[in-house]
């Protein structure tokens, strides 16, 4: 075995797979650029760190389960004027995640609630946090399945591995009693432990109706809105902006 292959194998054995894969190229670049030993030592470790970081970001993006890719810098604040860029930018230090605070976007369809949620979560992933997106229907299905299998607690704990959970469209459809009970378990576990972003078309004054006035409604809403930043979005639907509807 050539020396370079034997050396690459040693890096591989130590799980420096990225150095192992590119060792020949990195050595050639170092020789071509007359790098010092110290510079080369640093380049090797930087190469491994950068690629590991990129892989982790890619993995976290895949695990985030975004329904679509939406970027914050594509959000048009001249169309949606009930929230400012400054308000959204002030969230970008992610202290709301560190402090386990929630964000709630309330508003009618098409005003950008989902876009903003995915945009914020995308930036949080870039910053090294783990996020998970699901519609409230998806969440209730996940919880129901787990409950039937008798592992609701484990399922909720595995969701709690994410730093930030987005529940999209909470309150669009009425919920069964068991769904409400499962949701309560979920919200109760996440309360002051993880951050939630919730989008809804219901003002809280109507949440009682949506939860069918059930006893569990009050503690659910109470936990969600305690430590929450609430944004009321209004205006026209962006979806109708370019349509031919009059």
Q: Which residues bind Mg ion (CB under 5 A)?
A: 113-114
Return the number of the residue (113 or 223) whose C-beta is nearest Mg ion.
113
- Taking the complex as a whole, the smallest distance from the CB of residue 209 to ligand ADP amounts, in Å, to 20
Return the number of the residue (118 or 156) whose C-beta is nearest ligand ADP.
118
Return the number of the residue (8 or 116) whose C-beta is nearest ligand ADP.
116
In the list Mg ion, ligand ADP, none, the entry touching 73 (Cβ below 5 to 8 angstroms by class) is none
- Taking the complex as a whole, the smallest distance from the CB of residue 6 to Mg ion amounts, in Å, to 56
In the 8-state DSSP scheme, what is residue 65?
T
Return the number of the residue (94 or 238) whose C-beta is nearest ligand ADP.
238
- Taking the complex as a whole, the smallest distance from the CB of residue 118 to ligand ADP amounts, in Å, to 8
In the list Mg ion, ligand ADP, none, the entry touching 70 (Cβ below 5 to 8 angstroms by class) is ligand ADP
| 3-state SS assignment for residue 24 | helix
Return the number of the residue (111 or 180) whose C-beta is nearest ligand ADP.
111
Q: Check if the beta carbon of residue 188 is closer than 8 Å to that of residue 218.
A: no
- Taking the complex as a whole, the smallest distance from the CB of residue 135 to Mg ion amounts, in Å, to 8
- Taking the complex as a whole, the smallest distance from the CB of residue 149 to Mg ion amounts, in Å, to 29
Q: How far apart are CA 198 and CA 166, in angstroms?
A: 6
Return the number of the residue (135 or 155) whose C-beta is nearest Mg ion.
135
**What's the token pair of residue 51?**
């690629």
- Taking the complex as a whole, the smallest distance from the CB of residue 113 to Mg ion amounts, in Å, to 5
In the list Mg ion, ligand ADP, none, the entry touching 153 (Cβ below 5 to 8 angstroms by class) is none
Return the number of the residue (8 or 233) whose C-beta is nearest ligand ADP.
233
Strand segments (E) across 66-192: 102-106, 131-135, 164-168
Contacts of 27 (CB under 8 A, 6+ apart): 4, 40
In the list ligand ADP, Mg ion, none, the entry touching 40 (Cβ below 5 to 8 angstroms by class) is none
In the list ligand ADP, Mg ion, none, the entry touching 204 (Cβ below 5 to 8 angstroms by class) is none
150: left (phi over 0), alpha (psi -120 to 50) or beta: left
Q: By C-alpha distance, which of 213, 150, 199 is closest to 171?
A: 199
Q: Report the alpha-carbon angle 155-159-163, nearest 5.
A: 160
Q: Check if the beta carbon of residue 144 is closer than 8 Å to that of residue 181.
A: no
Which residues sit at the interface with ligand ADP, rule CB under 6 A? 70, 74-76, 79-80, 107, 109-115, 199, 238-239
Q: How far apart are CA 117 and CA 83, in angstroms?
A: 13
Name 135's bridge partners: 168
- Taking the complex as a whole, the smallest distance from the CB of residue 236 to Mg ion amounts, in Å, to 15
Q: How far apart are CA 172 and CA 55, in angstroms?
A: 36
């Amino acid at each position: 075995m050539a020396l370079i292959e034997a050396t690459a194998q040693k890096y591989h054995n130590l799980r420096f797979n990225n150095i192992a894969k590119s060792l020949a190229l990195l050595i050639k670049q170092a020789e071509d650029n007359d790098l010092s030993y110290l510079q080369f030592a640093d380049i090797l470790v930087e190469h491994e760190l950068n690629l590991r970081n990129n892989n982790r970001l890619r993995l976290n993006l895949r695990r985030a389960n975004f329904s679509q890719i939406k970027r914050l810098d594509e959000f048009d604040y001249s169309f949606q004027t009930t929230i400012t860029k400054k308000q959204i930018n002030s969230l970008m230090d992610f202290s709301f995640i560190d402090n386990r605070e929630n964000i709630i976007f309330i508003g009618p369809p098409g005003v950008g609630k989902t876009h903003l949620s995915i945009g914020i979560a995308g930036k949080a992933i870039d910053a090294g946090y783990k996020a998970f997106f699901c519609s409230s229907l998806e969440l209730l299905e996940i919880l129901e399945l787990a409950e039937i299998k008798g592992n609701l607690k484990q399922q909720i704990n595995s969701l709690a591995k994410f730093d930030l959970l987005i529940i999209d469209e909470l309150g669009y459809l009425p919920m069964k009693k068991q769904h409400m009970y499962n949701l309560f378990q979920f919200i109760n576990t996440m309360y002051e432990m993880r951050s939630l972003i919730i989008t809804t078309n219901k003002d809280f004054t109507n949440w009682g109706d949506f939860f069918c006035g059930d006893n569990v409604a009050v503690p659910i809403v109470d936990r969600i809105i305690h430590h929450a930043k609430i944004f009321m979005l209004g205006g026209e639907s962006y979806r109708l902006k370019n349509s031919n509807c009059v």
